[in-house]
Structures are given as C-alpha cells and as structure tokens.
Amino acid sequence: MLLFVGLGNPSPDNENNRHNIGFKIIDAINQKFSLSKQKPKFKGLLTTGQIGDKKVYAIKPLTFMNNSGICIRELIEYFKIDAEDVMVFHDDLDINFGKIKAKFGGSSAGHNGIESIDKFIGKDYSRIRIGIGRPNGKIQSADHVLKDFNEEEQKELQDITDCIIKSLTILLDKKLDLFSSTVNNR
C-alpha cells in the first residue's frame, strides 16, 4: 500500500502556480490510472485504486501548503500506512526547472509544506522534488513560487508530467535513484 501526496494550495487563483506542481502530478496519476473519483476526506481530496499490484491512495491536501502535514497524518493513521510508504510530489527552488530528484528522508530545505509533513509524520518518507528554479532578478522566492508557469514552461511541464507517469512503476518499487535518472533522461 502506497500513499502519493501532491502539494499545492487549493484556491482557484493558485491553480497554475509553480507551488501547485504536486497537485498537477496527482491529477495526472488519477487520470492515467483511472483511480476513483476525488472525494473530500481527511482534509484533502482523496482517490484510491490499483496501479499494477499495489493498492494506492493519492491525496491533494486542502489545508494549504503550510499545513499539509495535518492532512497526511490523519490519513496514514486511519489507513495504517507507514511513513516509509508515503511519496510526496512537490516543487523545489534549488533544482533547475524541469529536473527531478527523488530521495528518501532528509531536510526540508525551507519548503513549508515539507516542514509541516516532517512535523506531523517525521522525515522517513520519499520526496519527489520537481525543479522550478530560482527567480531571476529582484523577484522574491515567495513571489516566484506563487507565480503561474509561463506558456513555454506549461509546454515543458506537460512533458515532465508525462515522463513521471511513464516511469511511475519504478516509483512503486521505491527505486528512487533509477526513477530520477530515467525521468531526467527524457
């Protein structure tokens, strides 16, 4: 049993923000693998189904980025999911746009959504870090993550999402290094 978490902010004006890349990945997983219809549960939008031989839950927390851990803790306690079986998709300023790094555990690197999850379930879970790059010029990081992807980035984002979906079975087996190298060699 695995739990996929996509981080983002639920308000409509945040839908295409860089910070909402995790939500976009969960939507793509739900569509590709025909998971159940999203239902509001555990302070998030929850879907469930099978991918290969694995039972999978996927959730988009509705608690806003900075309180994502509240949703995750409720869900894993209810379904008795080990933190080691949680995989969180999120944006990362410290990775160039379009690059992806998957890792187990580690630091939050100042990402408020990850800090919240660490606080509520500990650090022993997988993170799929999707690069959004640092802002150019005088734009503050907080403004950059809440800015929408531009038209060119939207096209590349579709390629990134497609590649993640095609390589998802590697994640199911928790082969994080292989996943990272596969998706970055697209």
Contact 68, 116 (CB under 8 A): yes
Residue 137: its pLDDT value, please? 79
What are the tens digits of pLDDT across the range 152-173?
A: 999 999 999 999 999 999 999 9
Q: Can you give the residue ranges of every domain in the chain? A: 2-184
What are the tens digits of pLDDT across the range 32-71?
A: 999 999 999 999 999 999 999 999 999 999 999 999 999 9
Residue 4: its pLDDT value, please? 98
Catalytic residue positions? 19
pTM of the predicted structure, to 2 decimals: 0.96
Q: And the tokens for 84? A: 């080691």
As a whole number of Å, the end-to-end CA separation of the chain is 28
Return the CATH fold of 2-184: Rossmann fold (3.40.50)
| Number of Cα atoms under 13 Å in the Cβ half of residue 96 | 2
